[in-house]
Amino acid sequence: MLQQVSDAFVLAPVRHAIDRGWLKSWPGDVGVDMTGVPAWHHPPSDHRDLGSIETTAGWHFSAGDTEGVFGHSLTLAVAASRRSNGQRISRHPQLALGAVLDTGGKRPGPNAVHALQQLQHLGLPTGVLAADRAYTDQKSEHFQTHTRRLGYQLALDYRQEHRGIQGTHHGALLIDGTLACPLTPAPTATATTGLDDKQIREIDTNEELKKRIAAREPFHLKHKQGPDHTGTIRLQCPAAGTSPSITCPRFNRLHPPARTAPVAVDLTDRRAVAAHSAAKPAAQIPQAERLHPPTAKELPRICRQPTITIHPGDLGKLDKFRQDRPYLSDAWHDVFKPIRANNEGLNGRGKGHRVDLAEPKHRLAHGRAAQTILVALTICTLNLQILHDWKHTTGTTEPIPAAEDKGPSPIAPAGSPAATGRPPPTG
């Protein structure tokens, strides 16, 4: 019940924007993030062996910070916008679509899922969902599985120790969240292994790394079908289909191609040259396999059959790493960076001088119930300010509702209370 009241406050301005068509161009992209909301009361003291009056608070640690904030963690979902060719694809007010307050550092995944589930009742679209490493580290059943079933495509980041080859599924390599051919060249597959955050941020200045990332693309399993309403997809071997992206001796041995007459290629036609098999990367099979080819049963499933089906949760513990755009590719940068910037912008605005969630003096009541209501009212106010500023910046005006025709008003007789505006005489 408490969270329902909070949701009603937060979503009231969102419903207002939907009714007026201000979110029509929004493709459903969402960024989720947790931010610390400090408590007014003192934290527990080990030195004095004293607890805190604020028993529902805890320590919130932001990424990279060694000093935490004693208080609550606020999960915020923002109506974000991806970019294409450096430009935003939609112009809409970047509202807070959900807010869930919890004990510091607790339940980031389930709280984000709750905020997203409320949007289903509003008939809003689902697009890309970008989240930082706090959500990548969640168990898949707490975050990734549910968000996929809601219809979102995930854009994630990884810790240093999780970059590179993360595991296998049906023989396919899981490389930075994307399933790829088991014969992907090692220098390409391990391009990000061991790289720290600074090297990842400076990828634009590292031409060798950019080339290795780009070289992964032909070896990625190709999207064939889905997702359906459960989040299930079908993926295809990159050497299969009418437009294979690589050539593979193993695939050709197991699935011999039909013999066709040689076709002349116009070397002045770039598309025709690129489409020819000789111009595509070739999977290199081990020397032992060339000398003694294994039977089909001895090979991975992805090599035996051209397609595999992936349900949410099929990868087990590895499912938390899976995402829908190749990590560090141009497509990934076009969604992850701007959506995360929208998140940071909302957090900064919420802690600005106009509402200032970072000032505990504005929320002196203790207990999570009181704090939840106070924070929800603050986010509601923040959303109203966002709508006001967006209308002022874009020149958008409120539509004037059509007046309801109730017919001619009856004329009160002269001297009656309705005509004079005076109350009727008493006694």
Is the pLDDT higher at 93 or at 270?
Answer: 93
Residue 346: pLDDT over 70: yes
Task: Give the pLDDT of residue 45.
Answer: 78
Q: How far apart are the first and last CA of the chain?
A: 51
Kindly indicate the confidence band of residue 43, based on its pLDDT and cuts at 50, 70 and 90. confident
Kindly indicate the confidence band of residue 409, based on its pLDDT and cuts at 50, 70 and 90. very low
Q: How far apart are CA 40 and CA 53, in angstroms?
A: 10
Return the sign of the alpha-carbon dihedral for residues 203, 168, 112, 105: negative
**Beta-ladder partners of 179:** 174
DSSP, res 31: E
Report pLDDT digits (tens) over 9-21. 999 999 999 999 9
Task: Give the pLDDT of residue 399.
Answer: 66
Return the sign of the alpha-carbon dihedral for residues 180, 182, 184, 188: positive
* Both structure tokens of 354: 């106009």
Task: Give the pLDDT of residue 317.
Answer: 92
Residue carrying the six token digits 């329902």: 4
Is the pLDDT higher at 354 or at 417?
Answer: 354
* Both structure tokens of 69: 């904030």
Residue 419: pLDDT over 80: no
Q: Where are the alpha helices (DSSP H) in 246-294?
A: 249-254, 270-275, 287-291
Task: Give the pLDDT of residue 422.
Answer: 55
Stretch 314-332: mean pLDDT: 94
**Beta-ladder partners of 58:** 71
pTM of the model: 0.85
The answer to whether 382 and 375 have CB atoms below 8 angstroms apart is no
Q: How far apart are CA 99 and CA 34, in angstroms?
A: 10
The answer to whether 180 and 172 have CB atoms below 8 angstroms apart is yes
The answer to whether 170 and 301 have CB atoms below 8 angstroms apart is yes
